[in-house]
Amino acid sequence: EVQLVESGGGLVQPGGSLRLSCAASGFTFSNYWMTWVRQTPEKGLEWVANTHPGGGQRSHVDSVRGRFTISRDNARNSLYLQMNSLRVEDTAIYYCARDPFYGALDQWGQGTLVVVSS
Amino acid sequence: DVVMTQSPLSLPVTLGQPASISCRSSQSLVHSDGNTYLHWFQQRPGQSPRRLIYKISNRDSGVPDRFSGSGSGTDFTLKISGVEAEDVGIYYCMQGAHWPYTFGQGTKLEIK
């Protein structure tokens, strides 16, 4: 059974940092693009970042570029999102998801909540 | 960025009746490889999103055949032939033809 389990969310002050993790199991992790998507009541679903199966190619949406970094460790079947210089508007549920091709996200984790507030 | 516009945003439906959700993109979603990367997701209350349909009309395993997708270019539709109670939730279209990939605002389906 495919499983994606996020962790690392929590309450952080503006300007702070958090590192989200996503533990994958039940499939060959190194064969898939992986993605972070976030969700807020106000903006709905927003694509945050994705990474090539080998990890060498990464893309980040403009609103987080330079502050967030997606990475992966294929030996540990894990996906990460390093979030620095956090802003109030980064408050969201963050999901990791598997991408077999061009955004066709076929497996999602349960999400981890990040709250940026003073 | 490609803007995805869904309508309606709220969709009250009587059990057993059909429902239809429109999704329009600000640019054609035909990729240079010839495929159209328009996907549909369902999010039931309290759950993570789940893919229903990929590349316009391909239904995922386990998705009831009352769900169908159609469209081309910039204009797409998700139809439910007869709404059941388990269909309550929010439906999102999403394009993967242009980076950054973008979602529609979501359509909230409820039982009337």
Q: Give the model confidence (pLDDT) of A16-46 as tens digits.
A: 999 999 999 999 999 999 999 999 989 899 9
β-pairing verdict for B107-111 and B10-13: parallel
**CA-based nearest distance B55→chain A, Å:** 8
Residue recorded with tokens 């992790």: A29
DSSP string, A12-36: E-TT--EEEEEEEESS-GGGSEEEE
pLDDT confidence tier of residue A12, bands split at 50, 70 and 90: very high
Chain segment A39-98, per-residue pLDDT in tens: 998 989 999 999 999 988 999 999 999 999 999 999 999 999 999 999 999 999 999 999
Which residue in A116, A117, A107, A112 sits closest to A20, CA to CA? A112
Residue B111 DSSP SS3: strand
**CA-based nearest distance B20→chain A, Å:** 20
**Section B52-58 average pLDDT:** 98
B97 contact residues in A (CB cutoff 8 A): 102
β-pairing verdict for A33-40 and A92-99: antiparallel
**CA-based nearest distance B78→chain A, Å:** 16
Q: In this predicted structure, what is the pLDDT of residue A47?
A: 96
β-pairing verdict for A107-108 and A92-99: antiparallel
A62 contact residues in B (CB cutoff 8 A): 100
A113 contact residues in B (CB cutoff 8 A): none
